Amino acid sequence: MSTSSADVLPTRALRAVVAGLSCCLALAGCTGSSSDGAPPAPSDAASDAAAPAPVPPDLLQAFGGVLERRSAALLGGDLAAFRRDVARAGGFRAAQETYFDNLQQLPLATVSYRVDPASLVRRGDAYWVAVHVTLQLEGYDTAPVESVDRYRFSASRRDDTRFVLSSVEDAAWEERQEVRPQPWDLGPIEVREGTGVLGIFDAGSVGAAAPLLRSVEDGAADVAVRVPYPWDGRVVVYALSDPTFLTTLDDVPGGDPEALDALTFPVATAPGSPTVASTRFLLSPAMVERDGPERDRLVRHELTHVALGRLDDQAPLWLSEGIAEYVSVQPLAPEDRRVESAALEAAEAGVDDLPADKTFNDADSAVHYGLSWWACEYLALTYGESALWSLVDQLATPGTDPDELLRSFLGLSPRQLARRGARLMITTFDPAFLEPEPTPSPSPTPTPTAPAATPSASPSASISAPPG
């Protein structure tokens, strides 16, 4: 979903695909190449042909020992111990050392591994097994986060009586299981931490770390004042110059992850679990570099989603995105608040309903975000800001109909709210549009013809509200 400015933000905590993203965004730890001279990773067809078998007790103990030592080495920062259980050949060890360096920068509370005892597939002298990987970021995840990946164990070339880890990547299996890597699994990262903010950067973006961390710190303070729900103000933000992580995401608004300016996503405690360990957000490479008020507003929008977490899971998109827009502009002076010209044009052309979830992030997303924002502005101006949060609270009950709630709670139909929000937008940004045409008075004498008005320029991409 393409966006041209921070005024239109195609982002939300992905309610409709929480289950998918919970798996996709689990902390997998699947770094590295399998080109180590051991048998190649099984193809999709080969993997399907060989049904997994139980892991014999002796192998289960041997693999478990490797993984226990791996966990201890990562938590203890012992690179030498980490290396001893990693195959030497090819680029695998180098990739694993990058992974080790990445995790040493993270505030690790927990790293552990557990072999699935019913997942053994043998390939020559090597064994593939499914491994449950658990990782928790201290101070940012409320609980450990578990994912499942596939690892390969091979006999050590120096001592064939013991096993070493020779691959943590089986692309075909991972695709079927919807496993997706984290930034620290994909290549070198640079971690920077501010007050309550953990920033994940890379070599191309770390130069923007200081101003971005300040933006998130300030944004968290602004959002905490407005959002009346418990939130500790702590957040993880991914701010990478390399778009690779973006390309791993599925089912994002608009369908094109590389066209997003930003995205807020939940991290579940396990694939398919309804429990969320944290809510994080990412910025596109273009937005990472765009320091200034536009990015600050985008950050506040995303932080509003983070602060709400899953509280608005049952709310329609017009409300959750409209609230995020509403909160994002509150620190701005009225004259600095901008709306997309396409949204203003749609309001002036006339609207008949609130934006629908199904088409919210289509080609007219700029219009939908603008109309949603001003529907929320109308509610806050007319009924008080608390009306927004009351709607969120009441919609948190599964099965509540948003349209019926509007009618019973506020006495408004969706059409009425849409039209009144649109009119408020016009009043704010183009009040002359609402002024009636003057009616000329009859005159006994001809009135001199006024010079033709110079045509005004077409609206700019975004329009600022006049002071007041």
pLDDT of residue 427 exceeding 90, the answer is yes
What size, in residues, is the chain?
468
Ranked by mean pLDDT, which of 78-92, 198-212, 242-256 comes out on top?
A: 198-212
Say if CB 242 and CB 187 are below 8 A apart. yes
**Separation between Cα atoms, residue 314 and residue 86, nearest integer Å:** 46
User: Residue 164: CA atoms inside 13 Å, Cβ hemisphere, count?
Assistant: 22
pLDDT of residue 300 exceeding 90, the answer is yes
Using the CB atoms, write b or e for 195-214: b if 16+ within 10 Å: ebbbbbbbeebbebbeebbe
**Separation between Cα atoms, residue 218 and residue 223, nearest integer Å:** 9
**Separation between Cα atoms, residue 6 and residue 324, nearest integer Å:** 12
Residue 1 CB-density burial (10 A; 0-12 exposed, 13-18 middle, 19+ buried) = buried
Place of tokens 């932080």: 303
Concatenated DSSP letters of 188-235: --EEEEETTEEEEE-TTTGGGHHHHHHHHHHHHHHHHHH--S-----E
State pLDDT tens for residues 301-310. 999 999 999 9
More confident residue, 175 or 359: 359
State pLDDT tens for residues 20-69. 333 333 333 443 433 344 444 444 434 445 789 999 999 999 999 999 99
State pLDDT tens for residues 214-272. 999 999 999 999 999 999 999 999 999 999 898 888 767 766 777 789 999 999 999 88
Chain centroid offset of residue 328 CA: 17
The Cβ of residue 59 has, within 10 Å, a number of other Cβ atoms equal to 18
**Separation between Cα atoms, residue 295 and residue 328, nearest integer Å:** 11
**Separation between Cα atoms, residue 424 and residue 322, nearest integer Å:** 14
State pLDDT tens for residues 382-398. 999 999 999 999 999 99
Lowest mean pLDDT, pick from 73-77, 157-161, 168-172, 291-295: 157-161
Give the model's pLDDT for residue 441. Answer: 64
**Separation between Cα atoms, residue 397 and residue 382, nearest integer Å:** 25
Pairing of strands 235-239, 197-201: parallel
Give the model's pLDDT for residue 36. Answer: 40
Structure confidence at residue 445 as a pLDDT band (50, 70, 90): low
Q: What value does the CA radius of gyration of the chain take, rounded to a whole number of Å?
A: 27
- Residue 409 DSSP label: I
Average pLDDT, the chain: 86
State pLDDT tens for residues 397-410. 999 999 999 999 99
Give the model's pLDDT for residue 155. Answer: 92
The one-letter code for the residue type at 283 is: L
Contacts (Cβ under 8 Å, ≥6 apart) of 290: none
